[in-house]
Chains A and B, each alone.
Chain A
Amino acid sequence: MFLSKIWFFLIALAAAVGLTVALVMPRPAQRQLVEEEHNRLSVACGVVDILLFDDARGRVDLAASFARADEVVKALESASGADKLDEARMKQVRDSGERIMKGIRGRTPDFAMLIDKRGRVVARIKLDENDFGDTMAGRPLVDDALAGYLRDDLWAMNGTMYFVSAAPVIKRDPPLAYVGAVLLGHKVTNEFAQKLVNGLNVDLGFYLGNDDVAGSKTLPFDHPKMLKSLATLKDPDRGKDCEKAHPIELRANNDDYTGLVARLPGEAQSHGAFYTVVIKRPKAVGFAGTLKVVNKSDLSFNSFPWILVGGGFLVTLALGIALMWIESDRPLRKLAADAVRLAKGDKERLSEDEHGGKYGSIARSVNIHIDKIGRDAKSARTNLDSLLGPAPEGGLGTIDLLAGSLPATRPGGPAPAAAPPPSDFRFNDPGARSESGPLHDRPGARVATPPPKPARAPTPPPVPATTPARGMPPPPLARSSEPMPAQSTPKANPFEDDILGGGGSESTANVDPYFKQVYDQFIAVKQSCNEPTSGLTYQKFSEKLIKNRDDLMQKTGCKEVRFTVYVKDGKAALKATPVKEGG
């Protein structure tokens, strides 16, 4: 069983390890998933930034293209020379600008400003179209454009955000001269945000401090959290925000999100302009959740090593069964077979050497008990023999004597070959005190057993099938049912009172029918053996029987004692057999 125990330990250990792995594995997987989500978020943030750069480049190119329009150059050259701008000029310039705006393909600006070289707004297109004459010089973007630079910026105006770009307007006819600047503005809209994150599987929001500006989805996030994250971004290089910003946990519409905040450049930065890339946070699935999301493809032969698992299972099962068979089934069967042979009498003891381990121990224990029973039987037989003398051959043996509940016939066959020691009970002992005398049955000699057939009167054991060694068939004595015919109904006691020769007369009223029957049989057998019976009186005979019966009952705990008359060595003998209840 040692290997089986080791095997079960290994199986239990493997199961525990498997369970632990199953319960623990979702956690690092979840962590890895979160980390990957963060990486994805960072990448998406960087991609958005790149797209915004590209968009800025496109807008600057558009502004430069706008500024090169001849009618714009001429209009601004003319306006720059005027001390005062009037409405007629404004409308004329605005019309020119509108015509150019209509010719723009793709993303059309949401507004345009045409600025003369003094920094005054000559005309506005699409936004505050009737305003003109105010000075835009002073804003870095405008100043740079008037100085000859192409650039972009981000403005916060009227609660929203505009990507603006500007280009100088240059009179190209010699002499070259700066005559103004063109400024284009593109509003940050939901559509623009959606376009930026298209295909990135993230969402994007643009914010001005606590105000939502636009987003790919309408998600009411916690602004304080985003502003707190925004405040941590201190690097002068805004382009590193996507790398350095820490993901933050956001919640909107009962959904959890992870967000990454990055600053927006330009003037709008002073208004707290930033954008946030968000992604829906994967739920912590755990073990049960992991099982729930398993699908068919996960269990397909291509994805799962069924052969390996099945093979491992079969090998484990086979190994376990083999160990069970080797260490348990086989020795148990062997022991069982050995026990059956013992029961059949094919052997007297279990083979201890053939059984190993605990089975050998069982065999040894059984053998020890068998030995003990044998010793007890021998002891009991010795005691009986000391009382009654050795039992006749073919008589009930020790086992019968001790196991009163056993059937009269010995199970498993005849009695052992070895005959019990002689148990002669002779009343014709020359040393007996009297050989004759009337039989006197002592009242109460058989306790609670009224003669001749008490309610629980034991049935005399059948005469053993085997012929006694002396060749004389033993009388089939039964205490009540089969008395010997010759002596079964003695009408009068022909003997003297004292069977040992010294006894007085005894009243027949005290005669125990059973003892009397035994006595009669004994006398008859003695006579048939030509033995003298003159000194044997019923009184002495019955007293001897009563004494022997009581001794035997006390020693063996039996309820009844059966006496059998038989012939041994040509002489009458008497054997006492203790009978237990039901025997």
Chain B
Amino acid sequence: MFRAFLASVVLVVPLTANAGNVIGKLELPTVERPAAPVKGFLDRVENPLAPVKAFSPANQIFVVLEGDEKPVSPPQVVIELLGESFSRRVAAAPAGAEVVIKNVSKTSRTLVAAEDPKLIPQGPINPTGPKSFRATDVGKVYTIGDKDAPHLKLKIVVVNTQYVAYPDESGKFEVANVPAGSYKLKIWYQDKWLAQEDTVNVPAKGKVDVKPQIQAAALGAAPAKK
């Protein structure tokens, strides 16, 4: 999954002489798997052989470092349509960045942004074909989906920074080449920013470790039963 993340999101970060790396690990709570959005005739039941997998909210989280600088030469954000899901469920698009959605599945889809139906060029995205649009309004959130596939959802958040990272299932993340300075570390989960904000001072060289802790309550989920 982490590799898919790396393949799907390409951040073109200008090399800076005085830049450091921010390495962090989100302390994610173990929460109950949310109820399925749809159910069949029966309620789902756990199999009798093994405990169900723990729910990881990591693939619905991204981290940004916001400083005083505005993003320059905004990078292209590439998101793959894998089939019945996107390579990520949430993605950050620096203001002015071009968002490219590539259909790597064998099924054609018609994607529409719920907040702005004209955002994505009309017409289906055929297999191997892309659709792109430019995100300009900082703070804007776009919900992209296919009306024929309600489970297919992607949240794109327009942010005022180009320093974005996506944690892996264990919560680890890294933002490279961050100019030295003081930044606010903000965390997006599902469809909202988490309330907690950490200040990160990035040195001119080297790396800085951050370990923000996220409570289950902040995710709006019940702690997993032990």
Contacts and interface: CB of A to CB of B under 8 A. Distances in A.
Closest A-B pairs by Cβ, 10 of them = A138-B85, A148-B52, A152-B40, A151-B44, A135-B83, A138-B84, A56-B41, A135-B82, A149-B44, A134-B83
A56 B150 CA distance: 22
Contact of A267 (B38, B42, B85): B38
Nearest to A139: B84
Contacts of B226: none
Given A134-B107, A138-B83, A270-B150, A144 B40 contact: no
Interface string A511-553: 0000000000000000000000000000000000000000000
Interface stretch (A166-174, A364-372, A411-419): A166-174
Given A135-B82, A140-B151, A147-B52, A266 B106 contact: no
A52 B40 CA distance: 10
Interface of B: 33, 36-47, 49-53, 55, 82-86, 105-107, 148, 150-152
Given A150-B46, A151-B39, A270-B150, 20 more contacts: A56-B42, A119-B85, A134-B84, A134-B106, A135-B83, A135-B85, A136-B84, A137-B83, A138-B152, A140-B37, A143-B36, A146-B53, A149-B46, A149-B47, A150-B44, A152-B42, A170-B49, A266-B38, A266-B39, A271-B148
A153 B46 contact: no
Contacts of B45: 60, 149-151
A439 to B, nearest CB: 142
A64 B44 contact: no
Contact of B40 (A56, A142, A270): A56
A131 interface: yes
A150 B83 contact: no
A178 interface: yes
Contact of A151 (B40, B49, B53, B148): B40
A331 interface: no
Contacts of B43: 151
Given A139-B151, A148-B50, A172-B49, A265 B83 contact: no
Contact of B47 (A135, A150, A165, A270): A150
A64 to B, nearest CB: 7
A269 B49 CA distance: 31
A64 B47 contact: yes
Interface in A237-280: 265-267, 269-271
A142 B85 CA distance: 11
Given A140-B151, A172-B49, A270-B150, A265 B39 contact: yes
B83 A136 contact: yes
